[in-house]
Structure 1
Amino acid sequence: MQKRTKKFAIASSLILLSAIVLSACGSTSTKTATSTAGTTTATVKSDKIYIPVISKGFQHQFWQAVKQGAEKAAKEFNVEITFEGPETETQVDKQIEMLQAALGKKPAAIAFAALDSKAASPLLEKAKAGKIPIIGFDSGVDSDIPVTTAATDNKAAAALAADKMASLIGNEGEIALVVHDQTSRTGVDRRDGFVNQIKAKYPNIKIVDTQYSGDPLKATDLSKAIIQAHPNIKGIFGSNEGAAIGVINGITESKKDGKIVVIGFDSGKQQMDAIRSGKMAGAITQDPIGIGYWSVKAAVQAIKGETVPKNIDTGFHWYDKTNIDAADIKPLLYE
């Protein structure tokens, strides 16, 4: 009786162990992604290539358009992605935590738009050592580690913005810049592209101030301060959606609507409304859906060992009241 009981216990244990093993083999892994609504959980099947896409934020509609493009590529190439980013584009530490967590999940590749390339450097070196390809997008990464970067040529785009500003103020006068940050590649390149073009081509235009905003509220306050300090200012360039919206609000609150030329960057409903109403002269639009699409497509190519160009230029265009509804511009704008 005792032997039979012992045999039954052993058999039961073996059945239970087999069930656990089979259950583990059929399980899925869970990835956590941050969205505008907070933190959401996405279930990712273990039999698919996993690529986390880490953006600079979720604050602006630009990132939702990038997400749309990334999801389009994920579906086309049958891979799983999570799209995440800090709530605002000033939260460098939070983005670094997201990159650290992504590395811990041992992904096949990572698409990354750095808020601060220097801060991200140790983790990027870790990815390189682990043979995890890094794909830069939008701001990219100021490093040789990324296999490629899918982005706008921000210096050339900002130079076009400078040309438009110069033309609209009669090639002379005082102007200023409100730049979204001074640590990301986009912030640096848009600032330098604009400033260098003005200095090279327009000797009678004086840049009296360059400020760094981080978010629309701060951009509003900075714009008001610039206007107060420089009452003869003729134009202000806002280097992204948030900066441009802040400039518009600062001018309105200073009761200077129609008296200061505003050039923006990116799109979004508030900028589009401002262009239609005449509060903003025009802006540079990128192709955010293309940026997201190419970040995932390039990751898939890198994982497969295919040759990927070092830079993928996703293009840019000027739009204003005259062409905002044109067939070649409208698909690039987002609300």
Structure 2
Amino acid sequence: MKKLSVLAVVAATCALFSAYSQAAGGEIAVIVKSANSNYWQNVQKGATAAMGNAKGYTMTLQGPAAESAIADEVNMVENAVNRHVAGIVLAPSDPDALVPAMKKAWEAHIPVVLIDSMVSDSGKQYYQSFLSTDNTKAGELCAKAMIEAVGQTGKIAIMSYVPGAGSEIGRVGGFRKYIETHSKLQIVGPFYSQSQMATALNQTTDVLAANPDLKGIFGANEPTAVGMGRALQQSGKSGKVAAIGFDGNQDLQGFVRDGTIRAIAVQSSYQMGYKGIETVVSVIEKKPVQKQVDTGVMMVNKQNLDSPEAKNVLY
């Protein structure tokens, strides 16, 4: 009996690790933080392009109406598991809330590849690879640009997005730590827009009014930075308050071109989508993948805005 029990455990373990490769092909579910953002639409472009090389697979893409609609994203992952998809490419909007749904995927032998944001340590066994910007380094680059713009003293503000999101923790944390370590700048905030442009516009307007001596301001993701830029223009502070933004849609490119924003840190969201599909297909087909992949970031300003390198990441 003991020998049979050991054999049964070995067989079950082998089945678990080979399950991903049993049947190549099928649906790949790409689930992002929001369907209403150029950033995530650029992820979709990359994923769609990669599907051209993924023979036998189909792709679906979903995202909640807003990045703060975390429960909706959890439901999307659970529904994908219930559909028995071949694999999931996931941008988790919350480091903890998505872990139980990821566990369900793991228990169903459905591989999960994370993009953009990490989950908490409790979820690390439930994904096979993580592709993202090194958000801490990106935050540090933005802080360096800020210090170059405003100097070592004075007051700056942080306009953030969803508190607790994996990318937000690294990005804003990296920015704040670098500022505190390498300058004597006073930080106002952070203020959280919930990734809503209109909220960021109103918050920035209030911050500018309450702090007439503000020397600089950092907008930490696309909708937040766009709202920040519009508030600077509407308040007549364009070019007077040094602004650093994040991400690279058409609005932000326009702000860089007209001087409203000095520089933007641009992630390769296209590469996240493209490599996300490539990676999940590799897992399904039992090919080796890296546990973590840095998809890079580029600081774009008026001087390099029209360069080939910038055009490869702007969208």
Return the TM-score normalized by structure 1.
0.83
1:110 to 65, 69, 88: 88
Answer yes or no: is the 8 Å Cα contact 1:209–1:226 preserved in 2: no
Answer yes or no: is the 8 Å Cα contact 1:159–1:197 preserved in 2: yes
* Counterpart Cα distance in 1 of 2:91 and 2:97: 12
Answer yes or no: is the 8 Å Cα contact 1:112–1:140 preserved in 2: no
Structure 2 residues without counterparts, runs of 5 or longer: 1-22
1:279 to 260, 264, 269: 260
1:69-102: CA deviations, max 9, x gaps?
1111111122211111012212112111211111
1:121 alignment partner in structure 2: 99
Secondary structure of 1:68's partner? helix
* Counterpart Cα distance in 2 of 1:48 and 1:124: 20
2:145 to 160, 164, 187: 164
1:178-207: CA deviations, max 9, x gaps?
1111121111111101001111111x2111
Question: Higher relative contact order by CA 8 Å / sep ≥ 6: 1 or 2?
Answer: 2
**Structure 1: which amino acid aligns with 2:267?**
Q
* Counterpart Cα distance in 2 of 1:192 and 1:178: 12
**Structure 2: which amino acid aligns with 1:211?**
F
| C-alpha displacement of 1:318 | 0.4
| C-alpha displacement of 1:48 | 3.3
1:136 alignment partner in structure 2: 114
Answer yes or no: is the 8 Å Cα contact 1:112–1:141 preserved in 2: no
* Counterpart Cα distance in 2 of 1:330 and 1:294: 19
**Structure 1: which amino acid aligns with 2:192?**
Y
Residue 67 of structure 2 is aligned to residue 86 of structure 1 = no
1:126-179: CA deviations, max 9, x gaps?
111112111000124333021111111111011000000010002221111111
1:212 alignment partner in structure 2: 192
2:274 to 278, 285, 293: 293
**Structure 2: which amino acid aligns with 1:207?**
I
**Structure 1: which amino acid aligns with 2:152?**
N
1:198 to 172, 179, 184: 179
* Counterpart Cα distance in 1 of 2:150 and 2:209: 19
1:264 to 245, 255, 265: 245
* Counterpart Cα distance in 2 of 1:148 and 1:48: 19
Structure 1 residues without counterparts, runs of 5 or longer: 1-45
**Structure 2: which amino acid aligns with 1:305?**
K
Answer yes or no: is the 8 Å Cα contact 2:25–2:86 preserved in 1: no
Moved over 3 A (4+): none
Answer yes or no: is the 8 Å Cα contact 1:181–1:188 preserved in 2: no
2:9 alignment partner in structure 1: none
Residue 126 of structure 2 is aligned to residue 148 of structure 1 = no
* Counterpart Cα distance in 1 of 2:304 and 2:139: 19
1:255 alignment partner in structure 2: 236
1:191-233: CA deviations, max 9, x gaps?
101001111111x211122111021000011111212222211
1:315 alignment partner in structure 2: 296
Return the TM-score normalized by structure 2.
0.88
Higher mean Cα deviation, 134-143 or 269-278?
A: 134-143
- Number of residue pairs aligned between Structure 1 and Structure 2: 288
**Structure 2: which amino acid aligns with 1:55?**
V
1:243 to 217, 224, 227: 224
Residue 155 of structure 2 is aligned to residue 174 of structure 1 = yes
| C-alpha displacement of 1:252 | 2.3
* Counterpart Cα distance in 2 of 1:107 and 1:117: 22
Asked which structure has the greater CA Rg, the reply is 1
* Counterpart Cα distance in 2 of 1:311 and 1:121: 18
1:58 alignment partner in structure 2: 35
Secondary structure of 1:119's partner? coil
2:206 alignment partner in structure 1: 225
Taking only aligned residues, the RMSD between alpha carbons, in angstroms, comes to 1.4
**Structure 1: which amino acid aligns with 2:302?**
K
Q: % of aligned pairs identical?
A: 30
